[in-house]
Structure formats: C-alpha cells, structure tokens
C-alpha cells in the first residue's frame, strides 16, 4: 500500500533533487510535505480523517526513505564492485626433486625420497594469480593472462587455475610445450630452480587482445619469466590508464630500461636482486634503503624489498621507510620456500587495492608468506584469506 501510495504522489522538483543530491531526511520531508498538501482536508481533532491524515503522511515519508535507501544501496553495490586484480606472467609444470645435497661433478646420487619427482602447478605468474584468488575471497576477481602449452601438462594446469577461481579469458595457446621448472628441494626447505621457458616465451607480438583487461584492472602484477617486451607493453598500457603496476624482479636475470622503471608503481626485488640492479651492497637494512633510493631516482615510485628471515622493508614514494618482520611459521618448521615470495607480493597487492594502510599490507603479506613456507609445493601451499587474516592478527 505504501509503495502504491508513494508512486501515486508526484514529487515536487525540490524533492526530486533531494533524491540525487540530498540526504534521505530531505526526501522524507518532501514526501511528508507533499502528502500533507495532497491528503484529504483536515476536518478537525475529532474528524474521521484526522488520524488517517497523519498516518498517511507518515507512511509516505517512510516509503520515501525506503525507496531512497534501496536506490542508494544499489548505487553503493555498483560503485563498490571491486575491479579485478590482473596478473600477466608465467605458468609452469613444477617438478619437485627432494635432495640431500647436490651431486659433485661426475657423481650420481639418489633423491632424498623415492616418491619425489611429482608435477605440481607453478610459475611465478600462476602462483601470484592463485594467491590473489584465494586471498581476495569472493570480494574481487583474480584474472590471469598466460600462454598455455600444447602438451599434456597444459590441461592439468588450466584445470587447477579454474578450480581456484582464476579467470583465464585473456590467455593464449602456444605451439610449444608448457614451461617447466625443476625444483631441487633441500632438507632445510631451501631450493634451487632450473627453468625451461617453453610456452612462457611464445607470446604474441602485441597485447591488444587483452589491453581492455589491463585498463579495467585495480592493479597489474608482472614478473620476469616472460619476454620483457610483454612486460613493457603491459606496463605502458597500465601506466597510461592510471592502473598501478607491481613488478616482481624474480625470474630471468636482465636489466630494466629507464622507461620501464618510470612506469612502475612498485618494484619488488629481494636483497640479492636489489644488489644486482643497483650495483650497491645490500647486507644491512640501511644499505637496502640506500640502494632502493637509487632506483627511485630513476623513476620508480616505491621499492618493496624482501629480506628472507629478516622480513621486508618498504621505501615509499614520499620517503617513508616501513619495516615488517616475519610472522611465525605454522608448525614451527620451514618445509618449502618455493612460491613464498610470489605469495608475499600477491598478498601485498590484494591488501593494497583494498585500500588498507601500507603497514597492514605488509603484515598481511608476511602472514601469507609464512603459511606458504610451511607446506610443500608452490600453488598447493598458497593460503586462504581466513587463515592469513588469523595469523596476521595473532602475530
């Protein structure tokens, strides 16, 4: 009844304005005043219409508030619809080989476990995409653009991505086998990795097929296991669209052009990579900060450097230095460090696009990384949002 009554009343112009610009109270007053003018004549305190008049006007006012609240809620849901987090990068079939030590020249050794050598999904790009999907929960989509291979690994890798809620609509198919990573895992959880590029090096010449995804992203994550011309092209599109670019330095060892550095919102090396990029020592946090500032002089806005067991340090565009220690590893034992850096950077990106304070972003990332090293494998070890939030709060 109220809805029919409200729709039957023609709103004056000032009330129509209140719907678009003024608070809900203004609309309520408008409904009430309109109702008062258009209701039946007031007969007197004891008249049959007196009570009805008051209730009718109040009902219309309430209906007005309800209508406005409904419309405001709809607008809010549209305005707050989260833009996807886009990862452009590599996808590998990781072959994990558990060893006690590396063989010497001419020596043959057995593996530490007879059941090792299994294939698990990996690749820096895939790790970050799956981490983004798990850490964002249902609030934000994670999109991944990669190049699938033409072998039996490709279907398995694609299924893992889809099963984890990663959107792969911009990805291509290469006439090459899938990329592979041979991960030599030692007893203390440290690893050494050999990478076979495969389909990861067979990208198209241009990024026009997924340029729209770049422009509509909340942020773009890049790594260095795909051709540099792709990273540069993606960063350029993002830069022109005002989309933050987060560049992981890990992957193939190569230099950055000055133009690419200027496009980067965040560059994310570890201390060894930072030393290689700058030619400066990074064996203390003070030296890390000094080296990071040389990158900022070349145009990089923010430098996020991971320091292994010493945590991480963020040097911001406005000169602040934020430090973050490691969170405790669940179970107290490091099982496998593969993918931990990828997860850390993806978690930082997730928190960043959610608008959290930078220190909170760092803590969320540290918690995600700590959970990752407590499990075997890259993609299989990546944590959920709930367990990451729980560890961050308890640390």
- The whole-model pTM stands at 0.78
Catalytic entry in 94, 248, 336, 342: 342
**Predicted confidence (pLDDT) per residue in 303-354, tens digit:** 999 999 999 999 999 999 999 999 999 999 999 998 999 999 999 999 999 9
Residue 322, pLDDT score: 98
Q: Which of 189-203, 214-228, 267-281 has the lowest mean pLDDT?
A: 189-203
Query: Edge-to-edge, what's the strand order for the sheet holding 119-122?
Result: 119-122, 92-98, 179-185, 191-196
| Length, in residues, of the chain | 395
Judge whether 248 counts as a catalytic residue.
Answer: no
Residue 81, pLDDT score: 62
Confidence of residue 295 (pLDDT cuts 50, 70, 90): very high
Residue 235, pLDDT score: 98
Q: What is the dihedral of CA 286, 244, 128, 80, to 10 degrees?
A: 120
Q: Are 249 and 273 in contact (CB under 8 A)?
A: yes
**Predicted confidence (pLDDT) per residue in 17-45, tens digit:** 333 333 334 333 443 444 444 444 444 44
């Amino acid at each position: 009844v109220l809805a029919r009554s409200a729709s039957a009343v023609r709103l004056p112009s000032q009330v129509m304005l209140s719907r678009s610009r003024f608070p809900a109270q203004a609309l309520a007053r408008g409904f009430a005043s309109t109702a008062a003018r258009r209701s039946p004549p007031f007969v007197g305190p004891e008249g049959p219409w007196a009570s009805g008049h008051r209730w009718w006007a109040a009902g219309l006012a309430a209906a007005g508030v309800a209508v406005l609240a409904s419309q405001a809620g709809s607008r809010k849901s549209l305005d707050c619809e989260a833009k996807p987090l886009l990862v452009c990068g590599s996808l590998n079939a990781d072959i994990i080989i558990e060893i006690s030590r590396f063989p010497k020249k001419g020596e043959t050794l057995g593996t530490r476990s007879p059941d090792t050598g299994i294939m698990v999904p990996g690749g820096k790009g895939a790790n970050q995409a799956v981490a983004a999907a798990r850490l964002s929960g249902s609030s934000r989509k994670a999109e991944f653009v990669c190049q699938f291979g033409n072998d039996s690994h490709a279907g398995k890798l694609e299924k893992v991505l889809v099963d984890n809620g990663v959107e792969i609509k911009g990805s291509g198919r290469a006439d090459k086998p899938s990329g592979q990573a041979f991960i030599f895992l030692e007893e203390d959880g440290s690893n050494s990795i050999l990478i076979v590029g495969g389909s990861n090096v067979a990208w198209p010449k241009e990024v026009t097929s997924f340029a729209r995804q770049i422009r509509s992203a909340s942020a773009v994550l890049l790594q260095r296991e795909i051709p540099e011309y792709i990273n540069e092209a993606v960063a350029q599109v993002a830069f022109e669209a005002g989309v933050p670019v987060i560049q992981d330095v890990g992957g193939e060892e190569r230099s950055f052009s000055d133009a690419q550095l200027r496009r980067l919102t965040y560059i994310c090396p570890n201390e060894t990579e930072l030393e290689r990029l700058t030619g400066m020592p990074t064996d203390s946090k003070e030296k890390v900060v000094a080296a990071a500032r040389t990158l900022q002089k070349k145009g990089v806005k923010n430098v996020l450097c991971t320091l292994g067991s010493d945590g991480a340090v963020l040097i911001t565009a406005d000169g602040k230095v934020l430090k973050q220690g490691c969170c405790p590893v669940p179970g107290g034992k490091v099982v496998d460090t593969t993918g931990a850096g990828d997860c850390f950077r993806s978690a930082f990106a997730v928190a960043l696009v959610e608008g959290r304070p930078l220190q909170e972003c760092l803590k969320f990332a540290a918690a995600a990384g700590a959970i990752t090293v407590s499990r075997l494998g890259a993609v299989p070890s990546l944590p959920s949002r709930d367990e990451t939030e729980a560890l961050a709060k308890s640390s």
